[in-house]
Chains A and B, each alone.
Chain A
Amino acid sequence: MVDVPAPRRAPIGGVLLNQLARRLLAGLPAFPVVAAAFTLLAVAGAVVILVQAELLARLLADGVLDGPSVGSVAAMFGLLAGVFAVRAGLSWAQQALAQRAAASVKASLRRRVLRRTQELGPGWLSGQHTGGLTTTLGRGLDALDPWFTGYFPQLFVAAVVPVAVLVRIAVADLASAVIIVVTLPLIPIFGILVGLSTTRATERQWRALERLGGHFLDVVAGLPTLRAFGRATSQAQAVRRIADEHRSATMRTLRIAFLSALVLELVATLSVALVAVPVGLRTLDGGLTLSTALLVLLLAPEAYLPLRALGSQFHASTEGLAVAERCFEVLDAPGSRGPARSLRRPDATSAGGDDGAATPTPAPGSGRSARVPVASGADPAAPVVRFEDVTVRYAGREEAALDGVSLSVATGERVALVGPSGAGKSTLLNVLLGLVPVSSGRVLVGGVDLADADVEEWRREVAWVPQRPHLFARTVAENIRLGRPDATDDEVVRAARLAHADEFVAALPRGYETALGERGAGLSSGQRQRIALARAFLRDAPLLVLDEPTAGLDAGSEATVVEATARLMAGRTVLVVAHRPAMVLDAGRVVTIEHGRIAGPQLPAGVR
């Protein structure tokens, strides 16, 4: 990207490591070691700069004055070559170390963000742009590399090298040192002054710039609409005009923004001139030896370089900081109840700051989670599940998704939920599965409020066949084993047979060991549904939750899925969202949901 200024993230005010950067470094497992290494490298770098200048100054001064034979100064040449080699080696070490640190921080950030997404759960994820998040966690994080390999190590160099150089110059020629001491602070001071005086101007233009920059995407995305109304060709001129407006607006901003670069560059080069000319005049007087004069000339630019480099490195790393910001947004997202506590590893004590607030429920094993006696249900007549006046509101929606729903399901009962799409049937199931929190009311599972129960344990009593099951990028067998990782191959095959999946799985090139592509690409929706049914068979849980298991299937696969589903229901408590008569016929009771409410009487099925 071109250096379009990003005023909101500019280092104005001299904040070298803002909060964002400090958080980023907190993710570096061996931060003290890395910091110590960078400090050492910066000190070694400073020493090398001093030695190199010293050797070069002496050699060149001798060359001017005496013209010694190369042989007589061979040792010094050898030393100089060695110093150059060491300098290159230090640069290599710094870059390699920085890149390795970047790799570690990226991995740590990825781990924390992924963990957090699972704590926030499917409810939160459904409102996110998961494709964008996948990109952020993959290629996106690579944008952090410039920060780690450029700006961060440069901080250490900027802290060490100017001081070392200044001390050496002071020893050689105090007058030059004074000039540098006076001018060096001008770089940060001018940086801040120019920054302050231009920020407002740039910020004012920023929004306009953003809008013009977004115009192209807007028009390209709307091109089908433009064509539909015969306006595509007439917009071609507008695209060019706005692109040109964008250019001139950007240039207006840049003319101001680059002023800081101009001032900094001028301070640095004019200071070298300020040092060189008096040094020359004093050499002329015989007040300075040539070798000292050359030493000062060689060292003077090295005093300014690190600070100037720091500024441009910061510019190059703003994109990475934006990605880090996105990651921290996820880490800071207000948490829902959900599976959080069961995900936190006992050893993850340091994670408390990031996710502690989001998990009000006690950790497993603390003894405060209520147990969920479902399978062991002593009283078979007692309801397995009981919704009491449950209301669910989604953020940003006016209408409640569920509005005061009360419903009991007894052990062994089969309840079909019917109603128009969007009426709240799936929300009801998601509440039961602990995927969506209730806004008011409560859900009792085996007599225990789900809000107080250990969700993990409750889910062990449940097998679920969702409307669109996710197939994982693993083998078919591993996909079926999802709910029971320790199941034997025989058990997997048996479950697949019951789900009518065995026929097509056996026909796959590598049978159950066939790896499924991303999102199970290559399987038809009917086949995917049968894999999900096999999962449920293998899970073998007492409560079965089905969400339109035959939605979107063609007639052929529907019949097999219906048959397999009927088999799966046998002997289990069933809650099924049905959208076909076939699914309801087996149900003991039909509950109609409309506009988030239970509508009409709950009729026994078959009264059609």
Chain B
Amino acid sequence: MVRRIAGLLRAHVGRLLVAVSASVATELAALALMGTAAWLLARAAEQPPLAALSIAIVGVRAFATGRGVFRYAERLASHDAALRALATLRGRVYDALVPLAPSGLPAYRSGDLLSRMVHDVEAVQDLVVRVIVPVSTAVVVAAAAVGFTAVVLPSAAVVMAAGLALAGLVVPLLMVASARRTARRLAPARAELAAHHTDLLQGSADLAVFGATTAALADAERASERLARLERRTALTTALGGAAAMLVQGATTVAVTVLALDARSADGGLAGVLVPVLALVALISFEPVLPLVPAVQRLLESRAALRRVLAVLDAPAPVAEPAQPRPAPSGPVTMSLRSVSVRYPGAARDAVDAVDLELTPSRRVAVVGASGSGKSTLLACLMRFIEPSAGTVLLDGRPIQEYDGDDVRAVVTGVTQDAHLFHTSIRENLRLARPDASDDELRAALATARLDDWVSSLPAGLDTLVGEGGGQVSGGQRQRIALARALLADPPVVLLDEPTEGLDPQTADELMTDLLATTRGRTTVIVTHRLAGLDAVDEIVVMDAGRVVQRGTHADLVAADGPYRDLWWASHPALASE
């Protein structure tokens, strides 16, 4: 772990050194300011000629100015190094994610996990600014203070070294151990509270209708109070760290002063003017050491986050690329699934269980079924996002493994599950599918998706920004942009995964009708839970729990007893009651 983080930071060692040097200079300036000032006063008391003080006076002023300037330099240098490290890590994480998205990483099944991962990457900034720089600074400044003292009074240096090690090393380590123990004690209380929160926030309707809200709230409040009680109790120990370091600082200062005074009274072994210098150097050398207790806490947090990031960097790709890929297929292609099964790591059952499918040119197939029935996993197999655990996927009669993944997706693509709109213009979002597309081609694709009127009505037209995650456009426009993008790509095999997801029923039916009209004559797989218009497709495959439970044309399936007829009946009640 340490070595890999060091590897990440290696490219920025120079800047880190600048940051640490500036930080060390800041602290040394503070130390020198007080040391010189003490010497100035002590020497002045001996009433020497003014010239004897002039260097010290210049020193005091210089160190005072230097401290502010060095601090500014340190802030800038450490943030620059941190942000550079972040940029490097983001690049690496992106490279690592490319083969993993979307099937190789659980985070792609949850927006929360994904944003936490992105947040985890930012921990590298904290590591630099809040851990590496302050810890290095403390070490160097402590060594410098001990070195200076060793020259003046070796016995005091020994005491100082011991005190600094105690406050800077032993106390933080003890605090880490104690923090771990506290976390272990708090963990069950936190988990219990989180379960109550989930129940109240996601089960509020059930609670309200069954008149159980008040009781559930009372339970949650008891759990919350239990956690608060534990936190209040552990506060007494977690607050000890800072106090312990301060105690060591005081004891060291007293001991150094005693030793200095002792050396002074022993026949001029030590010049009197150096007594306050030693005492103040001892006192102030702890200033960069005291913040190490919180720095170590930070280290624990960023280490946990970076460990999760490293796990992403190490995650195995779900699909291996061939060493000698076959040339990309061209023209109309045929795809077939032969008894294909997929099981996700750690899952109890197959997500897709022995499914067969034939996609001959211009054939259109609809896959219907409840959510979790394996429809999207099936598409992931066709797009070579995931390796089947059994069975074969054939592309033009050859195993799909023999092709480069990007070549497969040049042939088989479309509207994927949760198709993403990037925070950029409509034009850029569309040209993703074909970077060289002309505006006329973009408009043609938009027209097919019935978006041309809307885009023309926008003041910025194609240059309109769609906002983060497509938030500035309505759900229907969003899906239609994704559809236009797929049409622009114009692949031999078009995949459409729940293209009407999240739309109100009327819009959904309209879009579905348009979709079926525009894909006529193209090889198409459409995953849907809306049945409107499916009489136009060549085959309907009904999936349940990963298995194909029914297949045939709309006419066949409506005539037969089974889940398809039930679904059809539910969406056409008028037929049902006739």
Contact = CB atoms under 8 A, between A and B. Distances in A.
Interface in A55-72: 56, 59-61, 63-65, 67-70
A509 interface: no
A339 B48 CA distance: 85
Interface stretch (A17-25, A163-171, A251-259, A567-575): A251-259
A304 to B, nearest CB: 12
Contact of A114 (B95, B220, B577): B220
Interface string B231-272: 110011011101110110111011001101110110000001
Given A221-B420, A470-B206, A518-B195, A580 B33 contact: no
B260 A63 contact: yes
Interface string B202-246: 111111111111111100110011011101100110111011101
A370 interface: no
B47 A286 contact: yes
B68 A399 contact: no
A530 B122 CA distance: 46
Interface stretch (B1-9, B36-44, B173-181, B444-452): B36-44
Contact of B210 (A215, A227, A483): A483
B416 A276 contact: no
B468 interface: yes
A298 B516 CA distance: 83
B577 A607 contact: yes
B14 interface: no
A270 B65 contact: yes
B257 A60 contact: yes
A585 B335 CA distance: 44
Contact of B261 (A63, A240, A459): A63
Interface residues of A, number: 166
Contact of B209 (A95, A261, A433, A552): A433
A585 to B, nearest CB: 11
A137 B253 contact: no
A273 B64 contact: yes
A418 B217 contact: no
A235 to B, nearest CB: 8
B65 A96 contact: no
A137 B65 contact: no
Given A81-B254, A88-B243, A92-B242, A470 B264 contact: no
Given A67-B272, A229-B432, A472 B242 contact: no
B453 interface: no
Contacts, number: 475
A88 B261 contact: no
Contacts of B529: 421
Contacts of A251: 76, 79-80, 83
Nearest to A275: B37
Interface stretch (A126-134, A354-362, A384-392, A497-505): A126-134
A65 B45 contact: yes
A608 to B, nearest CB: 6
Contact of A608 (B194, B508, B576): B576
Interface in B69-119: 69, 71-72, 75-76, 79-80, 82-84, 86-87, 90-91, 93-95, 97-98, 101-102, 108, 111-112, 114-115, 117-118
Interface in A531-584: 535, 539, 551-552, 554-555, 578-581, 584
A422 interface: yes
Interface string A114-158: 110110011001001011111101110000000000000000000
B485 to A, nearest CB: 8
A179 interface: no
B102 A246 contact: no
Contact of B279 (A60, A130, A255): A60
Interface in B134-190: 190
A224 B224 contact: no
Contacts of A222: 420-422
Contacts of A107: 224-225, 227-228
A436 to B, nearest CB: 10
A544 to B, nearest CB: 12
A61 B272 CA distance: 9
A254 B224 contact: no
A267 to B, nearest CB: 8
Interface residues of B, number: 164
A262 B26 CA distance: 12
B308 interface: no
A230 interface: yes
B541 interface: no
A59 B257 contact: yes
Contacts of A56: 253, 257, 279
Residue among B50, B57, B126, B573 having the largest count of chain A Cβ atoms under 10 Å: B573
Contacts of B111: 221
A67 B261 contact: yes
A236 B94 contact: yes
B330 interface: no
Contact of A459 (B95, B209, B224, B370): B209
A495 B393 CA distance: 49
A102 to B, nearest CB: 8
Interface in A246-291: 246-247, 250-251, 254-255, 258-259, 261-263, 265-266, 269-270, 272-273, 276-277, 279-281, 283-284, 286, 289-290
A221 B235 contact: no
B60 A95 contact: no
Nearest to B272: A64
Contacts of A272: 33, 37, 64
B571 A84 contact: no
Contacts of A211: 423
A397 B475 CA distance: 11
A188 B231 CA distance: 35
A63 B422 contact: no
Contacts of B199: 470, 472-473
Contacts of A460: 211
Given A99-B232, A99-B239, 18 more contacts: A2-B83, A2-B126, A114-B197, A118-B213, A118-B217, A132-B112, A220-B101, A222-B422, A223-B101, A227-B409, A229-B433, A262-B72, A269-B64, A277-B60, A294-B276, A420-B571, A519-B198, A580-B570
24 contacts: A56-B253, A64-B273, A80-B257, A84-B249, A92-B243, A103-B229, A106-B231, A117-B204, A118-B217, A138-B190, A218-B469, A246-B83, A269-B29, A270-B61, A270-B65, A270-B68, A277-B61, A399-B504, A420-B571, A459-B208, A459-B211, A464-B206, A554-B544, A600-B574
